[in-house]
Chains A and B, each alone.
Chain A
Amino acid sequence: LAKTTQPISMDSYEGQEVNITCSHNNIATNDYITWYQQFPSQGPRFIIQGYKTKVTNEVASLFIPADRKSSTLSLPRVSLSDTAVYYCLVGDNDYKLSFGAGTTVTVRA
């Protein structure tokens, strides 16, 4: 599985856009990039998945440059309820998701 590196924490304010960049220098050709969100005492929740370029859904956008060695999760206009841990995962074998420490995003009023 490709190793990922993401910031340990990020602070933001309500209404701002939050961008979390994940590095995955040894991503393989068949690997997809998937982001999960986890609130305290809850299970991880799937946010978005992509292979290349840009993917957007009702919750977030995922930007993936041509070399695919990094990706950026963009959360538009965050609210207090977006305070959570965000995980970047890379792989093609969904038998075994490998979670790192994630990025703790704290949104302040």
Chain B
Amino acid sequence: EPEVTQTPSHQVTQMGQEVILRCVPISNHLYFYWYRQILGQKVEFLVSFYNNEISEKSEIFDDQFSVERPDGSNFTLKIRSTKLEDSAMYFCASSERLLNQPQHFGDGTRLSIL
């Protein structure tokens, strides 16, 4: 079964540094998403992306965050100047269509900010 893959599995970064998290969605999927989960807390929506533009974003997704689909397979999340509170699991997801279609999640990148 095709799956969403994320790299790296664990990223350790100094506060203030830029970090890029990478995702390869399922190949025939058109909608892409990022979520995060702080340790012990709920999975939170960050942003959705379709047709090379952001469809919706949450309050968490401020100017420090950006997303990009640089080629036909990758989908990236960039945090420009990381803060301690950005430490979390970041999950990428994709879906084939929008309505009533399940989202398929990767196994996440654990981001640790020192």
Contacts and interface: CB of A to CB of B under 8 A. Distances in A.
Interface stretch (B66-74, B79-87, B95-103): B95-103
Nearest to B58: A96
A94 B100 CA distance: 7
Interface stretch (A13-21, A42-50, A60-68, A73-81): A42-50
B101 A94 contact: yes
A93 B48 CA distance: 11
A92 interface: yes
Nearest to B91: A43
B93 interface: yes
Given A42-B107, A42-B108, A44-B105, A100 B100 contact: no
Is chain B's binding surface mostly helix, strand, loop or mixed? Answer: strand
A97 B103 contact: yes
Interface residues of A, number: 21
A96 B103 contact: no
B26 interface: no
A101 interface: yes
A9 to B, nearest CB: 14
A44 B92 CA distance: 10
Contacts of A49: 100, 102
A98 interface: yes
Given A49-B102, A95-B56, 18 more contacts: A34-B102, A41-B89, A42-B107, A42-B108, A43-B91, A43-B106, A43-B107, A44-B43, A46-B104, A49-B100, A94-B31, A94-B95, A94-B101, A95-B31, A95-B48, A95-B98, A99-B42, A99-B44
Across the A-B interface, give the 5 residue pairs with the lowest CB-CB distance, nearest first.
A43-B105, A46-B102, A99-B43, A95-B48, A43-B91
18 contacts: A32-B100, A41-B107, A42-B107, A43-B93, A43-B105, A44-B43, A44-B91, A44-B105, A93-B99, A94-B100, A95-B33, A95-B55, A95-B56, A96-B56, A96-B58, A97-B35, A100-B42, A101-B42
